Amino acid sequence: MRLALRPALAAMHRYAGLLMAGFLLVAGLTGSALAWTDELEGVIMPAVFRASPPTPGAMVLDPLLLREQIAARFPQAQVVYAPLSRPAGHSMVFYLRASGEAALEHDEVFVDPYTGAVLGQRLWGEIGQGLVNLLPFIERLHHSLALGDTGLLVFGIVAIIWTVDCFVGAALTFPARLKKRPSTGKPWLVRWRPSWLVRRHGGSYKLVFDLHRAGGLWLWTMLLVFAWSGVAFNLYGAYAAVMNPFFAHQPAEEIVGRHQAAPGPHMGWQQARSQGRLLMRDLARSESFAVIEENALAYEPGLGVYSYKVRSSRDVRARKGLTTIFFDAASGQLLASWLPTGTASGDTIRSWISALHMASMWGWPFKLFVCAMGLAVAMLSITGVLVWRRKRQGQAQLRLRQLTER
């Protein structure tokens, strides 16, 4: 690296790190907890989030029947989403949408799938409702500091800075350019090797410095995944502006967004599920994938569109698949489809980095890894600030000695 470039990169890394430190500390610690959302909610409030068969061999009720019951119980709301499956031992959650100007007191309803009994309700993320909203509130802290759209924007900007800083920080670990001819010095990889090591007996400062430098190198790939997927979550427009010119994407969202609701009666939920199954079967045959389980049926009244989601062999998530078809609510005609992988490279990349970020694949071992990664992000933030503080103290002491020597 040219000598004139390294100080500039060091300054960029220093000020970017100081700017991001507090945000990444919060994101890392909350992300560690969010890796275990299902498990923690089940422990905190099992009466709401867990449901067991009342008798051995008991069958669950039809989810669309449960949707009708919820719609009748909450006439002030629209129930435009019906889960068609849920993990074993879990309650079934239905989402409510306000049908008028008045805000809802609750937008999630938890139902026993065997009896139809309402087990609990919450307004997602409203911590004033108690423990039932603890994990959603932690999630709000994770992606927006619980500050709404302003927090989303700020965290999105931080994610962009973090993405760039991943490359800057990596470049700073590269060995300085040799003044001698390369043939007379050590090979480049040999000189880079110390950056990957932690000196345990060199004093506290060297230990902190090495934890920051080596930790960043060993975890670099996942740090970049977290940073860039954070941009996709919080500032999708910026993410798409970078990715779409280079990677193909499926135009399902654009097609559905332009659709106009057809006049006349629209099919009911039972008929829509049957139509969704039929269209998905045809799509699976034509695109050569297997349907593993159906996940959800949703209705968008403003567009006159049903969407039917399944988890398929094209999904990378272990739960809540994103293989989706969209069809006209009146005619049942297929409008668009969206496959998580194997169709468009940009969508494949987004599916993978999103699943990695949310620990929604490979079971508990990967959840444990993502939990550890969150703690590592917090550690890198703290060690970065400590390194800056120590260097600043050293510079202050040097200036003081220079003044006293005059």
pLDDT single digits (tens) 278-328 = 999 999 999 999 999 999 999 999 899 999 999 999 999 988 899 999 999
Give the separation between CA 353 and CA 358, rounded to whole angstroms: 9
Residue finishing a domain among 324, 343, 362: 343
Quickly list DSSP for 37-98.
HHHHHHHH-HHHHB---SSTTPPPPPHHHHHHHHHHH-TTEE--EEE----TTB-EEEE-EE
State what percent of residues in the chain have pLDDT above 70. 95
pLDDT in tens, 71-124: 999 998 999 999 999 888 899 999 999 887 778 899 999 999 999 999 999 999
pLDDT in tens, 135-151: 999 999 999 999 999 99
Q: How many domains does the chain have?
A: 3
Please tell me the predicted confidence (pLDDT) of residue 398.
Answer: 67
Binned at pLDDT 50, 70 and 90, residue 263 comes out as confident
234 falls within a domain: yes
Please tell me the predicted confidence (pLDDT) of residue 324.
Answer: 97
Please tell me the predicted confidence (pLDDT) of residue 261.
Answer: 86
262 falls within a domain: yes
pLDDT in tens, 178-196: 666 655 568 888 889 988 9
Q: Could you tell me if residue 118 is left (phi over 0), alpha (psi between -120 and 50 degrees) or otherwise beta?
A: beta
**Same domain, residue pair 223 and 106:** no
- Tell me the residue type at 5: L
Question: Could you tell me which residue, 396 or 207, shows the higher pLDDT?
Answer: 207
Distance, C-alpha 383 to centroid of its chain: 25
Question: H or E segment at 3?
Answer: none
**Same domain, residue pair 193 and 339:** no
Please tell me the predicted confidence (pLDDT) of residue 3.
Answer: 55
CB 96 within 8 A of CB 109: yes
Tokens of 342: 């194997």
361 falls within a domain: no
Question: H or E segment at 236?
Answer: helix 236-243
207 falls within a domain: yes
Asked if pLDDT for residue 159 goes beyond 90, the answer is yes
**Same domain, residue pair 67 and 88:** yes
The CA-atom distances, in angstroms, between 317 and each of 10, 352, 362, 367 are 38, 8, 8, 13
**How many other CB atoms sit within 10 Å of the CB of residue 7?**
9
Query: What CATH number corresponds to the domain at position 332?
Result: 3.10.450
Mean per-residue pLDDT, 362-373: 95
Contacts of residue 201, defined as CB under 8 A and 6 or more positions apart, other chains included, come to: none
CB 293 within 8 A of CB 280: no
Mean per-residue pLDDT, 395-401: 71
Please tell me the predicted confidence (pLDDT) of residue 405.
Answer: 66
**Same domain, residue pair 142 and 223:** yes
**How many other CB atoms sit within 10 Å of the CB of residue 270?**
13
Please tell me the predicted confidence (pLDDT) of residue 183.
Answer: 56
**Same domain, residue pair 157 and 32:** yes
**Max CA-CA distance within the chain?**
91
DSSP state of 395: H
The phi, psi pair for 343, rounded to 5°, reads -115, -50
The position carrying tokens 């890394």 is 13
State what percent of residues in the chain have pLDDT above 90. 77
Please tell me the predicted confidence (pLDDT) of residue 316.
Answer: 95
Binned at pLDDT 50, 70 and 90, residue 248 comes out as very high
**Same domain, residue pair 260 and 177:** no
Half-sphere exposure of 179 (CA within 13 A, CB side): 1
127 falls within a domain: yes
Give the separation between CA 39 and CA 19, rounded to whole angstroms: 33
Q: What is the mean pLDDT of the chain?
A: 91
Gyration radius of the chain's alpha carbons: 26
Binned at pLDDT 50, 70 and 90, residue 27 comes out as very high
357 falls within a domain: no
351 falls within a domain: no
356 falls within a domain: no
**How many other CB atoms sit within 10 Å of the CB of residue 121?**
18
Asked if pLDDT for residue 396 goes beyond 90, the answer is no
Q: Which residues span the domain enclosing 203?
A: 1-39+138-247+371-406
Asked if pLDDT for residue 350 goes beyond 80, the answer is yes
**How many other CB atoms sit within 10 Å of the CB of residue 376?**
19
**Same domain, residue pair 142 and 243:** yes
**Same domain, residue pair 187 and 115:** no
pLDDT in tens, 39-70: 999 999 999 999 999 888 889 999 999 999 99
pTM to 2 decimal places: 0.88
